Amino acid sequence: MLSKFKNNLRTALFLSFVDFKLKNERAYLGIFWYLLEPLFFFVAIMAIRGALQVESIENYAVYLITGLVMFNFFRNSTSTAAKVIRFRAQFIKSMRVSPTIFVISNCLQSVYSHFFEIIILSLILLYYGLPLGGLFLYLAVFIALLIFSLGVSFIVAPLGAFSDDFNNVWQLLLRVLFFLTPIFYKVSENTSLADTINLNPLTHFISLGRDALIDMTLSSEKVLFLFLISFAVLGFGVVFFNYLKKYFAEWI
């Protein structure tokens, strides 16, 4: 069992690197796309921040870019997972390749692109005079987010294999989730809206990411809570995926 897991992980790492390289070779701007997208939203929101009434938020630029890059990682990894089984249909039908590899590989590609987003984040930290030491604390939060995103990817991948329509549904849900996550705003405590937004797991991932980068502090209890949620979602996702993968050949 352990050797099979190692082989699948090794294959997923190789496949993710090859796909990432080929994907960027076909684009004129290559890896700069990973810098432009979050930077575009960052500049746009900063331009209208006066209308958002966020003056009370300290280090708002870092507050904003942290939310953007963390949500972007979750969105990229899960939105492509919703299409990955149908995209790899020929391999799944004609070769004895575990479809699990493609989901893991897909998530690893998002890790590579997140690295370039961290470059933007680091530059903004330096520009506003904040130390880069918080990036080491951020790594713990990001690992929890990676596990959580992989778990969600294992859930959405079979649903995307079942129906092409699910990809459109998931894109719509991600747009709604963007506004239900405190990325560019802050919700006052003890309100009904705060209670709703706190039910969103991404709220807690992003909040801890900001604690790490801005205040250079992390609550061990909160980090443990995030890891428990992440492994619970991953466990459910793997069981869900393994139960449905026997139907993939029929669906695709």
Token representation of residue 196: 């709703």
Q: Based on the structure, what is the number of domains in the chain?
A: 1
Quick: pLDDT tens for 19-60: 776 666 665 556 677 678 888 999 999 999 888 878 889 999
Task: Please choose, from the candidates 172, 151, 170, the residue with its C-alpha nearest in 3D space to the C-alpha of residue 237.
Answer: 151
Q: Which pLDDT score, from 0 to 100, does residue 86 have?
A: 86
Q: Which pLDDT score, from 0 to 100, does residue 26 have?
A: 60
Task: Please choose, from the candidates 177, 190, 180, 183, the residue with its C-alpha nearest in 3D space to the C-alpha of residue 210.
Answer: 183
User: Which residues lie below 8 Å from residue 215, measured CB to CB, with a gap of 6+?
Assistant: 134
Residue 247's domain spans which residues? 2-251
Alpha carbon distance 250, 92 (integer Å): 11
Q: What is this structure's pTM?
A: 0.92
Rounded to 5°, angle at Cα 144 from 209 and 21: 95
Mean per-residue pLDDT, 167-174: 95
User: Which residues lie below 8 Å from residue 23, measured CB to CB, with a gap of 6+?
Assistant: 109
Confidence band of 133 (pLDDT split at 50, 70, 90): very high
Place of tokens 């809206």: 193
Q: Which pLDDT score, from 0 to 100, does residue 16 have?
A: 80
Mean per-residue pLDDT, 56-78: 95
